[in-house]
Amino acid sequence: MTSPEDRTDPATQPFVPPEGAPQAPAAHPEPGPLTKGSSTGWGQPTESVGYTQQPPAQPRYGQYGPTDTGAPAPGMPPYPAAPGGPLPGQQYGGQQYGGQPPSGSAYGAPQGFGGAGYRPLAPRPGIIPLRPLGLGEIYDGAFGAIRRNPKVMLGVVALVIAIATIIATVVAYLLAPAANRWLGDLVGDLDPTGEAGFDTLGSQLSTTVLVSLAVSIASVVVTGLLIVAISRSVLNKEFTTGDLWAQVRTKVLGLLAIALMPSVAIAVLAAALLTAVYFVAQTAGALAVAVVTLAVMGVIVVAAVWLSVRFMLTSATYVLEGQSLVQAIRRGWTLSRRSFWRLFGIYLLSNFITGAVAQLILVPATIITQLLFPDGYAVEPGGIAIMTLAQIIAYTITTAFLSSVIALLYIDVRMRREGLDVELAAAADAA
């Protein structure tokens, strides 16, 4: 007979496996012998300690620990959730299953076990975050710069564009009679009665050509001013028109030279290729001349696009980096070398956008002037005034936006390739 005190509770008796069966590891193995020079688990030796314990055997994926109770051993972290979801009472995504996410965490972001590590947001002291930019951030920065300082970003642009447009319009108006006579002599046989409107086409063409030329020259100066304005808006620095002009006024001639270089190169290339077409036409048939002409036109278009993109960042390097004209050209050429397609795509899309906006302003103005002045707006003072105002508004918006995009593309390329964002962040902290 045994007393109740002598009996052993079956739940507390150690499990003895059948004879010949493999022994199961202990639930809480005793520390094994210490081995010198082992690792801490982070890839670095434990020099400060020198020793570590041999780790206990780990369960396979989908299995519980040695205790076979479905709960972790004392002192061990919770097991990861099974593929079907977390077990009751276990931690899931850094929080109790069914509970609220921890405060300060991003909505939907995985936390805790298996979640992505914390990634701090890039500093944003001004109009853009200081990191490589996406297309939307470039456009947002361009509009943000205009919203933050419209007096400079739009006021100065409107003033410069207005002066250039008014001067060109007045000159074209004075030259209109001579232009009409010259063009009438050329096309007189096509429209002897003047019903086709060729008798006023000369004044319209002269106005268009002169205004476009004047706006192009004005845009060069405005682009230099806005590049400086954008560079200061990135760091949220205040600026005035005088500050911008003080940095650009000694570089106006250089900016004009940079703007003319692609045009001059394209003109020289076109002259050489068209001369070759002329000599081909002397000896070949009409079909061969047509094929060669199309090929030449394609080469000219490709060369114009390529040169325009390669020179796109040169104005920014010349204004902001304090280099000479030759050094700025080399620098801009280098910056655009491995970013051609990105620069081309963004600039092409930006031109489509600004072109559509300009047409939304110019087309209604043209219709109004044609209704009010059937004889042609180019010869009527009222029509000239309406079209001049529409052109000033359209060119102001498009020039401000495109110049801002070019400045931000320059900053983006440098942040991607030269770590400019780190320098800008340090400058923002020091300010």
Q: Is there a domain that residue 115 lies in?
A: no
* Sign of CA pseudo-dihedral 159, 164, 170, 173: negative
The reply to whether 198 falls in a domain is yes
Residues with Cβ < 8 Å from 292, sequence gap 6 or more? 276, 277, 280, 284
In the prediction, which pLDDT does 264 show?
Answer: 92
- Phi, psi for residue 96 in degrees, rounded to 5: -65, 135
Whole-prediction pTM value? Answer: 0.67
Number of domains in the chain: 1
According to the model, what pLDDT value does residue 310 have?
94
**Residue among 311, 312, 328, 329 at smallest CA distance from 320:** 328
Q: Residue 37, CB half-sphere, CA atoms under 13 Å: how many? A: 0
What is the structure's pLDDT at 194?
55
In a domain, 279, yes or no: no
Residue 206 lies in a domain: yes
Which residue range forms the structural domain that includes residue 140? 135-251+303-430
292: tokens are 């060669």
**Residue 431 buriedness (CB in 10 A; 0-12 / 13-18 / 19+):** exposed
Cα–Cα distance for residue pair 34/11, rounded to 1 Å: 34
Q: What single-letter DSSP state applies at residue 336? A: T
In the block, tokens 């030449």 appear at 296
* CA 249/CA 227 separation, integer angstroms: 13
CA distance 386 to 403: 26
- Alpha carbons within 13 A on the beta-carbon side of 199: 7
Q: Examine residue 295 and state whether it is found in any structural domain, yes or no.
A: no
Q: Is residue 13 part of a domain?
A: no
Buried b (16+ CB within 10 A) or exposed e, 54-65: eebeeeeeeeeb
Residue 290 Cα to chain centre, angstroms: 40
The answer to the question of residue 358 being in a domain is yes
CA quadruple 350, 356, 361, 365: dihedral, nearest 10: 140
- State the angle between helix axes of 286-310 and 340-372 in degrees (0 to 180), rounded to the nearest 10: 110
Tokens of 3: 């007393």
15 within domain boundaries: no
Instruction: Compute the distance between CA of residue 187 and CA of residue 196 in angstroms, rounded to an integer.
Output: 11
142 neighbors 405 (Cβ within 8 angstroms): yes
**pLDDT tens, residue order, the chain (431 aa):** 444 444 444 444 444 544 554 554 444 444 444 444 433 333 333 333 333 444 455 555 444 444 445 455 555 555 444 444 444 444 444 444 344 444 444 444 444 444 444 456 888 889 999 999 999 999 999 999 999 888 888 888 899 999 988 888 888 777 766 766 666 665 555 555 555 555 556 566 767 778 888 888 888 889 999 999 999 999 988 888 888 889 899 999 999 999 999 999 999 999 998 888 888 888 877 788 888 889 999 999 999 999 999 999 999 999 999 889 999 999 999 999 889 999 999 999 999 999 999 999 999 998 998 888 876 666 677 888 888 899 899 999 999 999 999 999 999 999 999 989 898 888 888 76
pLDDT at residue 184, as a whole number: 60
Query: What's residue 325's pLDDT?
Result: 93
